[in-house]
A and B are shown apart, each in its own frame.
Chain A
Amino acid sequence: MEFLKKNPKIFQWLFLLIVFFALCFAIEVPETYKFIRGQAEFIKDPNQSTFVFAGKEVRYYAFDVFWRLPPLLGWLPIWINDTLFFLMNDWMPMEFWNEDTQEFKTRPLLLQISRNLTGFMTFIIELIREILLGGLETIVAFTSWDFIDANPWAELPGLPWTIVAAGATILSYKLSGKGLAIFAGLTMVYISIFGQWKPSMQTLSFILVAAPLSFIFGLGLGISAFKSKRVEKVLYPILLVMQTMPQYAVLVPALVLFGVGDHAAVIITMIVAIPPMILLTLLGLRAIPPEVIEAGRMSGCNNWQLMFKVLIPTARRDILIGVNQVIMVCFSMAVISAFIGAKGLGFNLLLALNQLNIGLALEAGLCISLIAILLDKMSLAWANKQTDYFGNLTFFERNKNAIFFVGAFAIGIILAYIGTFLFKGTFNYLFEIPHNKGISTADFWNKGVDWIFETFFVYIKAFNTWLIQEVLQPMRALYLRMPAVATIVLVVGAGYLIGGIRSALVVCGLTLFIALSPWWDRALVTTYMATFGVIVSCLIGFTVGTLCFQSKSAAKFMLGVCDIFQTFPSFVYLIPVMMLFGITDTSVLIAVIVYATIPATRYTIEGLRSVPIGLHEAATMSGVNKFQRLTKIEFPLAFPHIMLGLNQTIVFALFMVIIGAFIGTEDLGQYILKALSDKNGAGIGLTLGICVAFIGLIFDNLIRTWVGKRKKHLGIA
Chain B
Amino acid sequence: MSDAVIKCESVYKIFGENAEKMLQEANGNVDAKTFQENGCIVGVNNASFEVAKGEMLVVMGLSGSGKSTLLRCISRLTDATGGKIFIEGQDLLDLNNKELIDLRRNKMGMVFQSFALLPHKTVVENIAFPLQIKGINTDDSISKAMDMVKLVGLDGRENYFPRELSGGQQQRVGIARSLAVEPDIWFLDEPFSALDPLIRKEMQDEFLRLQDKLQKTIMFITHDFDEALKLADRIAIMKDGIIEQLDTPAKIVLNPATEYVRKFTEEVPREKVLLIEDVMDQSTSNNLGDLRVSKDEIIENVAEKILTQEKTVGVIDNNNKVIGSINPTKIINTVFGGRKNGN
Residues in A lying within 8 Å of B, measured CB to CB = 289, 291-292, 294-295, 297-302, 305, 309-310, 313-314, 316, 386, 388-390
B110 touches A314 (CB 8 A): no
Q: Which residues of A sit under 8 angstroms from B122, Cβ to Cβ?
A: 386
B116 touches A299 (CB 8 A): no
Interface residues of B in 100-122 (CB under 8 A from A): 101-102, 104-106, 108-110, 112-122
B77 at the interface (CB under 8 A from A): yes
A289 touches B129 (CB 8 A): no
A298 touches B108 (CB 8 A): yes
B101 touches A302 (CB 8 A): yes
B116 touches A294 (CB 8 A): yes
A390 and B156 CA atoms in complex are apart in Å by 12
A291 touches B142 (CB 8 A): no
Partner of A301, one of B113, B133, B181: B133
A292 and B113 CA atoms in complex are apart in Å by 11
Further pairs besides A289-B116, A292-B117, A388-B159: 5, Cβ < 8 Å: A292-B116, A295-B110, A295-B116, A298-B75, A310-B118
B129 touches A299 (CB 8 A): yes
B138 at the interface (CB under 8 A from A): yes
A571 and B159 CA atoms in complex are apart in Å by 45
Q: Which residues of A sit under 8 angstroms from B118, Cβ to Cβ?
A: 292, 295, 310, 313-314
A298 touches B113 (CB 8 A): no
- How many A-B residue contacts, CB cutoff 8 Å? 70
A298 touches B159 (CB 8 A): no
Partner of B77, one of A294, A313, A316: A294
B104 touches A299 (CB 8 A): yes
Q: Which residues of A sit under 8 angstroms from B104, Cβ to Cβ?
A: 297-300
Q: Which of B114, B116, B124 has the most CB of A within 10 A?
A: B116
Knowing A299-B129, A310-B118, the reply to whether A291 touches B113 (Cβ < 8 A) is yes
Instruction: Sort A-B residue pairs by CB-CB distance and give the 7 closest, nearest first.
Output: A300-B105, A295-B116, A299-B130, A291-B116, A300-B104, A298-B110, A313-B120
Residue of B at shortest CB range from A297? B77
B123 CB, min distance to chain A CBs, angstroms? 11
B200 at the interface (CB under 8 A from A): no
Residues in B lying within 8 Å of A, measured CB to CB = 72, 75, 77, 97, 101-102, 104-106, 108-110, 112-122, 124, 129-130, 133-134, 138, 142, 158-159, 177-178, 181, 187
Q: Which residues of A sit under 8 angstroms from B77, Cβ to Cβ?
A: 294, 297-298
A309 touches B133 (CB 8 A): yes
B133 touches A305 (CB 8 A): yes
B113 touches A389 (CB 8 A): no
B133 touches A294 (CB 8 A): no
Q: Which residues of B sit under 8 angstroms from A313, Cβ to Cβ?
A: 118-121
B235 CB, min distance to chain A CBs, angstroms? 24
Residue of B at shortest CB range from A300? B105
Q: Which residues of B sit under 8 angstroms from A316, Cβ to Cβ?
A: 119-120
Residue of B at shortest CB range from A301? B133
Knowing A386-B122, A389-B124, the reply to whether A300 touches B101 (Cβ < 8 A) is yes
Q: Which of B108, B129, B177 has the most CB of A within 10 A?
A: B129
A437 and B124 CA atoms in complex are apart in Å by 55
A300 touches B159 (CB 8 A): no
A314 touches B109 (CB 8 A): no
Q: Which residues of A sit under 8 angstroms from B102, Cβ to Cβ?
A: 300
A480 and B134 CA atoms in complex are apart in Å by 68
Give the interface SS of chain A, mostly helix, strand, loop or mixed: helix
A387 and B181 CA atoms in complex are apart in Å by 22
B120 touches A289 (CB 8 A): no
Residue of A at shortest CB range from B132? A309
A318 CB, min distance to chain B CBs, angstroms? 13
B263 CB, min distance to chain A CBs, angstroms? 30
Q: Which residues of B sit under 8 angstroms from A294, Cβ to Cβ?
A: 72, 77, 110, 112, 116
Q: Which residues of B sit under 8 angstroms from A301, Cβ to Cβ?
A: 101, 133
Residue of A at shortest CB range from B108? A298
A388 and B124 CA atoms in complex are apart in Å by 11
A314 and B162 CA atoms in complex are apart in Å by 12
Q: List 12 A-B contacts (CB under 8 A).
A: A295-B112, A298-B108, A299-B129, A299-B133, A299-B177, A300-B102, A300-B106, A301-B101, A310-B118, A313-B118, A313-B120, A386-B122
Q: Which residues of B sit under 8 angstroms from A390, Cβ to Cβ?
A: 158-159
A314 touches B114 (CB 8 A): no
Partner of A309, one of B97, B117, B129, B187: B129
A291 and B189 CA atoms in complex are apart in Å by 10
Q: Which residues of B sit under 8 angstroms from A292, Cβ to Cβ?
A: 116-118
A175 CB, min distance to chain B CBs, angstroms? 16
Residue of A at shortest CB range from B120? A313
B110 touches A300 (CB 8 A): no
B76 CB, min distance to chain A CBs, angstroms? 9
B137 CB, min distance to chain A CBs, angstroms? 12
A301 and B187 CA atoms in complex are apart in Å by 17
B133 touches A389 (CB 8 A): no
A178 CB, min distance to chain B CBs, angstroms? 21
Q: Which residues of B sit under 8 angstroms from A291, Cβ to Cβ?
A: 112-116
B119 touches A314 (CB 8 A): yes
Residue of B at shortest CB range from A310? B118
B221 CB, min distance to chain A CBs, angstroms? 13
Residue of A at shortest CB range from B178? A298
Q: Which residues of B sit under 8 angstroms from A302, Cβ to Cβ?
A: 97, 101
A324 and B116 CA atoms in complex are apart in Å by 27
Knowing A299-B104, A300-B134, the reply to whether A314 touches B120 (Cβ < 8 A) is yes
A295 and B105 CA atoms in complex are apart in Å by 12
Residue of B at shortest CB range from A294? B77
A314 and B120 CA atoms in complex are apart in Å by 7
B85 CB, min distance to chain A CBs, angstroms? 16
A291 and B124 CA atoms in complex are apart in Å by 20
A299 and B181 CA atoms in complex are apart in Å by 9
A388 and B159 CA atoms in complex are apart in Å by 8
Residue of A at shortest CB range from B145? A389
A388 and B113 CA atoms in complex are apart in Å by 29
A390 and B138 CA atoms in complex are apart in Å by 12
B78 CB, min distance to chain A CBs, angstroms? 10
A386 and B119 CA atoms in complex are apart in Å by 12
A300 touches B113 (CB 8 A): no
A314 and B161 CA atoms in complex are apart in Å by 13
A291 and B113 CA atoms in complex are apart in Å by 8
B233 CB, min distance to chain A CBs, angstroms? 23
Q: Which residues of A sit under 8 angstroms from B177, Cβ to Cβ?
A: 295, 299
B275 CB, min distance to chain A CBs, angstroms? 35
Residue of B at shortest CB range from A383? B120
A389 and B128 CA atoms in complex are apart in Å by 12
B101 touches A389 (CB 8 A): no
B134 touches A298 (CB 8 A): no
B170 CB, min distance to chain A CBs, angstroms? 12
B188 CB, min distance to chain A CBs, angstroms? 11
A292 and B177 CA atoms in complex are apart in Å by 13
Residue of A at shortest CB range from B112? A291
Residue of A at shortest CB range from B104? A300
Residue of B at shortest CB range from A387? B125
A316 and B159 CA atoms in complex are apart in Å by 20
B46 CB, min distance to chain A CBs, angstroms? 24
A65 and B102 CA atoms in complex are apart in Å by 71
Q: Which residues of A sit under 8 angstroms from B133, Cβ to Cβ?
A: 299-301, 305, 309
Q: Which residues of B sit under 8 angstroms from A298, Cβ to Cβ?
A: 75, 77, 104, 108-110, 178, 187
Residue of A at shortest CB range from B141? A389
Q: Which of B97, B121, B133 has the most CB of A within 10 A?
A: B133
A154 and B16 CA atoms in complex are apart in Å by 69
B142 touches A389 (CB 8 A): yes
A386 CB, min distance to chain B CBs, angstroms? 7
Q: Which residues of A sit under 8 angstroms from B109, Cβ to Cβ?
A: 298
A481 and B134 CA atoms in complex are apart in Å by 71
A316 and B120 CA atoms in complex are apart in Å by 8
Q: Which residues of B sit under 8 angstroms from A388, Cβ to Cβ?
A: 159
A127 and B186 CA atoms in complex are apart in Å by 54
Q: Which residues of A sit under 8 angstroms from B110, Cβ to Cβ?
A: 294-295, 298
Residue of A at shortest CB range from B109? A298
B227 CB, min distance to chain A CBs, angstroms? 20
Q: Which residues of B sit under 8 angstroms from A309, Cβ to Cβ?
A: 129, 133
